[in-house]
Structure 1
Amino acid sequence: MPHVDASSAPALTSDLAAGGDRPVLTYCSDVTGERIDFTAHALGSWVARTANMLRDGYGCEAGDHAAVLLPSHWQTASVLLGAWSLGMTLSIRPWATAGLPIQDGELDWPLQTLFVSTRRLGSWLEDIPDARHRFALDLEPDAGLGRRVPADYLDYLAEALKHPDVAPEQQPAWQAELATADGTSFQEWMDLATDLARSMELRAGDRLLVDADRNEQPVKWLLAPLAVGASIVLCAGLGEGGLQQRAAREGATHVM
């Protein structure tokens, strides 16, 4: 996969699609036994479906605000990259799996779109802000389409599959626009990812093993490796000592 230029953060779909059969993301869980491997092209297809869903299905465009209340997961990668490829501004909650309540004022700005895990809908239901479009993601490996998605939410997987897996027409680079609601621009976000990759000495062809339960900030587990052409092994449910054992099995060159 080609390196992602810092100015092209909202257009990652094309970069992924150009990567062909190169492995780019593996998601696995030592709790459920789930494992799924994505080539750059396969992940790019999901990113493209997400972007097309948001743009053509629900009228989203650059500058629209979305909240992403999701744990580290392959579907989260598709959501983030798909929304960013349209130039959307995201509010990302890296504590999504911790069960912490949403505080007053945290998500008060107008929301176009909301993505939330069904794992947390029960505990957050009264706190979840209103949004024009609300997508629920059932992240269990045996979920199936719509099995545990509440009636007043859209099923992300089912909706995304209705749309083509070809990247939307290339958008101009939105370097100065906000990637995240904390005021970080796309240029700053990708510069940070690139600097982080360099600090970890990540290079093209490296394989980064990530403890999904301890690393929920996507600039670490997603953007930093993609920025330099490294692949990602995102693993949930690692027990004591499981990180190094998994790293050996996966042939990881770096761990996080």
Structure 2
Amino acid sequence: MELTRAAAQRPLVTFYDDAVGERLEFSRRTFDNWVAKTSNLLVEGLDVRPGGTVVLDLPAHWQTAVLLFAAWNTGQRVVIGPREELGSAADEGIWATDTPGNAPDWADEVLGLSLDAFGAPLPDAPAWVTDYAVEVRSYGDRFTGHSPASSSEQVLSVSNTTLSRAQIDRETQEFLEEHELTTEDRTLTVVEYTTSTALVAGLLAPLRAGGSVILCRNLDDDLIRRRIETEHVTATAGLEAPYAPVRRLL
């Protein structure tokens, strides 16, 4: 599944967490390296095979986006959405979470993420949890282990709906055409990935267009206008109020 057509050195994903004053920026090349390292971790470290399942019990975050693309890279079906629905959408596979204590007994492996800006390990992680921040560093920056999913393969389950690659590609392309997203667009998003529409608007469509996304967690309302100006935002997803001349995608 194609990630983006953006130039290698252009900003691709910018991440803010206003609760801790965090800002991180990734070019396509840097983001692709993270996806490759995570893909290698899944295959070499957690022994995933095409046709498996990766559950993302995570908030919208740059590491969640990396895991999504890495899972698709390795031929996995990704289960994502409201946390209360995750357990009913899968009964085996890798469970990736920032709250390992909530992982179900059936998970083949539990991948724990601290979501720390400086890559700190999980505090007091149980021995049976694979610590993402610790383990991913040792894996290679290139991944060549799996061919892309076929158009009929089921690649996403969200809000109790399962979609094939062709369906996701079609929904993404229709969204691009409706909103006329281009390589020049920078989309500020606060949406959680609880529906396919939110995932498309807040991540997949802007990146497929060759543009970029600004993922904002714990967004401080007092900073919105300034952030729109400093990040040259052209579109938003998830903000309730309109901000002229910025287009509202969702």
In the superposition, the TM-score normalised over structure 2's length comes to: 0.82
For residue 203 of structure 2, the aligned residue among 207, 212, 222 is 222
Give the total of aligned pairs. Answer: 232
1:25-66 CA deviation, whole Å, 9 max, x = no partner?
000112111111000000000100111111122221221012
> CA separation in 2, counterparts of 1:30 and 1:242?
9
Distance 1:238 1:38, change over 3 A: same
Shift of 1:175: 1.3
Counterpart in 2 of 1:240? 221
> CA separation in 1, counterparts of 2:151 and 2:235?
29
Q: Which moved more, 1:144-153 or 1:156-165?
A: 144-153
RCO greater where, 1 or 2, for CA within 8 Å and sep 6 or more?
1
What value does the CA root-mean-square deviation take over the aligned residues?
Answer: 2.5
> CA separation in 2, counterparts of 1:239 and 1:215?
21
Higher strand share: 2
Matched, 1:158 2:134: yes
Q: Which runs of 4+ in 1 moved over 4 A?
A: 212-216
Contact 1:73 1:212 in 2 (8 A): no
Counterpart in 1 of 2:177? 198
Counterpart in 1 of 2:244? none
User: Secondary structure of 1:78's partner?
Assistant: helix
User: Secondary structure of 2:204's partner?
Assistant: helix
Where do 5+ consecutive residues of structure 2 fail to align?
Answer: 238-250
> CA separation in 2, counterparts of 1:140 and 1:222?
21
In the superposition, the TM-score normalised over structure 1's length comes to: 0.81
Contact 1:72 1:215 in 2 (8 A): no
Distance 1:243 1:194, change over 3 A: farther
Percent identical among aligned pairs is: 28
Distance 1:92 1:40, change over 3 A: same
Distance 1:78 1:136, change over 3 A: same
Matched, 1:183 2:176: no
Matched, 1:22 2:22: no
Counterpart in 2 of 1:87? 75
> CA separation in 1, counterparts of 2:85 and 2:30?
34
Where do 5+ consecutive residues of structure 1 fail to align?
Answer: 1-8
